[in-house]
Structure 1
Amino acid sequence: MMTVSEILNRQELSREDIIRLLSITDKEEHDELIKRAYSIKERIIGRKVYLRGLIEFSNYCRKNCYYCGIRSGNHKVSRYFLSDTEILEIVEFAQENHLKGIVLQSGELSSEEFVNRITALIAKIKKVTNPDFRITLSLGEQSLDTYKSWFDAGAQRYLLRIETSSEELYNKIHPSDELHSFKTRLKCLDYLRETGYMTGTGVMIGLPFQTIENLADDLLFIKERDIDMVGMGPYLEHADTPLYNYKNLLMPLNERFNLSIRMIAVLRILMPDINIASTTALQSIIPMGREIGLKAGANVVMPNLTPLKYRRSYLLYENKPCINEDADDCLNCLAKRIKMIGEEVAYNDYGDSKHYINRKLIV
């Protein structure tokens, strides 16, 4: 069997190489992988962290995904919608705190009323912000016309997580109906690229029924799809979901955490110039989890700017951190923690994916 050093010195990583790296159990080998990934991030992107202010503006969702705490079938959730006024106040706060963009995230809806509201909301945000202020959407599967409408209104980025690139696994973690289609999810990724968005996706790591081979294929899927930005993290269970019944199949939390860190590192090696988020789920397992993700090659963090009174109602998983920390405290704490690990918040940088920029130049 090849050593980690030998694999890391290859020009291209094969599927077998990726499986070997993800399967590391030796601490020295793990550290060697992380060090190599961070050196690539440092060389290509620098010791910079881009912040995206996250606004979880609604937890209404038409989907009933088996892993999600705000799925339509969970009737214990108190549903909410932020008003446009509330959202614009958060946008103003983001600008005052030198953030160059926000992420609008909600449960998945696709009614005409919802689509039109988002189109109008994007236009309102563009009116009160710097012309280059970045708007990222994470609003699930939509039609091509909807994606185009939101793009034309001023949104530049879109995150649509596939959760897994395995159709077999996808079908195990979603209901079997027309609302939950693996092929539709892939088609929507195509629509986003066609529309012109800086396109993002991501997967959950450590799902029941998931194998290391699945995860290796996820990374290869991201590379083959030429994705610009990625948000992926450990699967964390929620008691009010069907998938919770399979919690006995889960690897221990610390193993899910370390595997997630290796996923970030290998992806950075595979795609040196993309944006990779260090997710809140990492912090749910280890208090300094997001910072460890940054040292493994991630370069984006999304501080939560959602008003405190709504945060307990947007729990995709249990033990979500920062639900009692207001936006001011969150930003101040995050800046200190990032500085503590030798990185700096790139307040004066819009943080567009270098991969996206290079891809557009080639086109």
Structure 2
Amino acid sequence: MKSLIDQLDQEHNLSQSQLTTLLQNITPELSEYLFEKARATSQNYFGNAIYTRGLIEFTNYCKNDCYYCGIRKSNSNAIRYRLTKEQILSCCKQGHELGFRTFVLQGGEDGFFTDEKMVDIISSIKKAFPDCAITLSIGEKSYDSYQKFYNAGADRYLLRHETATDSHYASLHPKNLLLSTRKQCLQDLKEIGYQVGTGFMVGSPYQTIENLVADLQFIKEFSPHMIGIGPFIPHKDTQFASEPAGTLELTLFLIGVLRLLLPNALIPATTALGTIDPTGREKGILAGANVVMPNLSPTSVRKNYSLYDNKICTGDEAAECRLCLEKRMNKIGYYLSSERGDFQPII
């Protein structure tokens, strides 16, 4: 198995059958071998710098009914909220003072935030903080909408494909949501000029090794600038409430594989990792990740942005969150960078 990791390290690719074999034979020893290679690759491109993204969860209204999501339209127990433009700018101001140079506006697919409103918010942030990057994570939109946001100053867009297998996608979403639509959105974003991020859940209901291999192959082929993966964590108000969560071990292994597949990609150690293990984010960095996303949302609403149960850091102020993460990263030999942390192509 180590020979497969060596090949992946050298060639940045494996065949479908080789990836399948690798995922079928994970052991603690093999994982450590992979993580050593992935860490070395990450440090080769980024040194010991960990890029920070200030996360602003500005609305938990959503028109969709994805079966795994706590803010799905039909969850009548969700306490809904929307931040005003002024509140969003206030989050950015606080984040800027704390050293953040990327803001991530994340929310459900909320029709209240029309293209006109989003353009106003994006351009206002860009005007107030011209040295900062703006990342959007607001779901499936038209090409025209994506173009408007880009013209207003948005730099990056996160849109997880969730699973690259049509039948698996259908088991996680209602019939009106299609994998083909999501893939088209990703192509549109790339064509427009965004730095594009995609990714998937690890351990989602009905997921097989074949599904995961398809995910890895899709990501290799699409070649996104950012890759966000995290363990599936059930939410009590969904039909998957009693399903088991994805494991730390498999998530970390896949982070390592992705680092070797796309050596210069920006890969976060997600909040979900920190939720299933107290040192999950540190372990993510040591498996090859190089980004963290502390929360800048007002503490009054954080608990309500509940995609899954038991999410961490819902009560910490933004400054506490950043200081805590800084200490955690320092402890394992890394530091939080105040740079924008844009994607750098391999020359």
Cα shift readout 1:65-93 (whole Å, capped 9, x = no counterpart): 00000000001111111111111111111
Q: Which residue of 2 aligns with 1:108?
A: 109
Contact 2:161 2:182 in 1 (8 A): yes
Unmatched 5+ residue regions in structure 1? none
Cα shift readout 1:64-122 (whole Å, capped 9, x = no counterpart): 000000000001111111111111111111111111111000001346x5221111001
Deviation at 1:13, TM superposition (A): 1.8
1:352 equivalent in alignment to 2:342: yes
Q: Which residue of 1 aligns with 2:325?
A: 334
For the residue of structure 2 that corresponds to 1:353, the secondary structure is coil
- What is the number of residues matched between the two proteins? 343
Contact 2:59 2:110 in 1 (8 A): no
Q: Which residue of 1 aligns with 2:55?
A: 54
Aligned-partner residue type, residue 353 of structure 1: F
Q: Which residue of 1 aligns with 2:190?
A: 193
Contact 1:134 1:156 in 2 (8 A): yes
Contact 1:18 1:266 in 2 (8 A): no
Q: Which residue of 1 aligns with 2:22?
A: 21
Q: TM-score, normalised by structure 2?
A: 0.96
Aligned residue among 236, 240, 246 for 1:239: 236
Deviation at 1:48, TM superposition (A): 1.1
Q: Which residue of 1 aligns with 2:94?
A: 93
1:307 equivalent in alignment to 2:298: yes
Q: Which residue of 1 aligns with 2:287?
A: 296
CA RMSD of aligned residues (A): 1.4
Deviation at 1:141, TM superposition (A): 0.2
Deviation at 1:53, TM superposition (A): 0.2
Cα shift readout 1:292-326 (whole Å, capped 9, x = no counterpart): 00011100100011111101111000010011111
Q: Which residue of 2 aligns with 1:279?
A: 270
Counterparts of 2:179 and 2:45 in 1: how far apart (Å)? 34
Cα shift readout 1:205-231 (whole Å, capped 9, x = no counterpart): 001110112111101101101111011
Deviation at 1:21, TM superposition (A): 2.8
Contact 2:95 2:318 in 1 (8 A): no
Q: Which residue of 2 aligns with 1:265?
A: 256
Counterparts of 1:196 and 1:25 in 2: how far apart (Å)? 37
Counterparts of 1:354 and 1:211 in 2: how far apart (Å)? 33
Cα shift readout 1:12-52 (whole Å, capped 9, x = no counterpart): 42222222333344211111111111111111221110000
Q: Which residue of 2 aligns with 1:226?
A: 223
Cα shift readout 1:163-207 (whole Å, capped 9, x = no counterpart): 101110000000112xx1221111101110111100111100001
1:119 equivalent in alignment to 2:109: no
Q: Which residue of 2 aligns with 1:149?
A: 148
Aligned-partner residue type, residue 128 of structure 1: A
Aligned-partner residue type, residue 354 of structure 1: Q
For the residue of structure 1 that corresponds to 2:109, the secondary structure is coil
For the residue of structure 2 that corresponds to 1:55, the secondary structure is strand
Counterparts of 2:190 and 2:280 in 1: how far apart (Å)? 31
For the residue of structure 1 that corresponds to 2:114, the secondary structure is helix
Counterparts of 1:139 and 1:24 in 2: how far apart (Å)? 37
For the residue of structure 2 that corresponds to 1:244, the secondary structure is coil
Q: Which residue of 1 aligns with 2:84?
A: 83
Counterparts of 2:287 and 2:49 in 1: how far apart (Å)? 13
Cα shift readout 1:141-170 (whole Å, capped 9, x = no counterpart): 000010000000000000001110111000
